[in-house]
A = this chain, B = another copy of it.
């Protein structure tokens, strides 16, 4: 099987024997990058707050899911917060975002309220998808957030299309399209890379490499020489490997790609190393079989992006312990309110099952009133 030559870079914290908190490989360089120098203390605190928001939101969702108050899947982002926070903290207002089914983090950062997200998980009509999409299918196009897609890599061509529309219409901005390390083996992703390069589209594919696709390690699912991102070379696309636990590095790498998209209308592929603490989805009974409890524990202890960022801010003197605790408390409060909102919200009505299928029917246009649209 596979003959992958691992780079020490991506996996370096996997093989570390150092028992202390591991810092980024090139802390000085990344932190010194212009995009990071511009950060104010408030900006940095906001990012910490965002990490708390994502984590507390999901921890609470998990409880209600386990209590049977939600259906379907729940793919938790916990452990990966620095990726969403880092990448989206450099996003401009004109940039658009689309991703897979492990994207609560991105959604919350794109301006979706916790209330509408929590309500969606509860299947309520006040949810961001009116209770029709569920955990995998959050949407807020008015906020440049295009989902939430359940089919692995199904979003890759859509992201391409968003970038295409931006370019076609002469609009500013680019599209950030997230996918997993397992998703790179879907054909649609490759077709998309070719088109992105051939047509000079401003799309950035962000591979959140959390080392596993369900129970399958990267080594068991992908053949590669140096990295997954390097496949981009075959399409003449610039790519980068980024240490996901270093928010500065994530920001610097993403910014470079965004600049490339804006200035040259060229695509990029970024592979960001990260880790998920929970199972593939909550129902993943085998969460502990394909990796050791020690591995998970090591990540929690040594590589937790939230703790690492918090420590960075403390070390930089940007935040105090008390400020961090305040941010946490605010996040918890926001979550509690979101739960209350979700619980008190109504379910969709029975008639809603047949709404939102056809635009023309929903608007009761002439087209929507012509011919039979629904059958039984």
Chain A interface residues (CB < 8 Å from chain B): 1-5, 185-191, 193-194, 196-200, 220-225, 230-237
Contacts and interface: CB of A to CB of B under 8 A. Distances in A.
Q: Taking chain A's interface residues, is the majority helix, strand, or loop, or is none over half, making it mixed?
A: helix
A199 B225 CA distance: 15
A159 to B, nearest CB: 15
Nearest to A185: B194
Contact of A1 (B186, B198, B225): B198
Contacts of A187: 186-191
Contacts of A185: 191, 194
A197 B2 contact: yes
Contacts of A198: 1-2, 220-223
Nearest to A221: B198
Nearest to A2: B198
A182 to B, nearest CB: 11
A228 to B, nearest CB: 8
Contacts of A237: 223
Q: Which of A3, A186, A190, A236 has the most CB of B within 10 A?
A: A190
Contacts of A236: 2-5, 223-225
Contacts of A224: 234-236
A191 B186 contact: yes
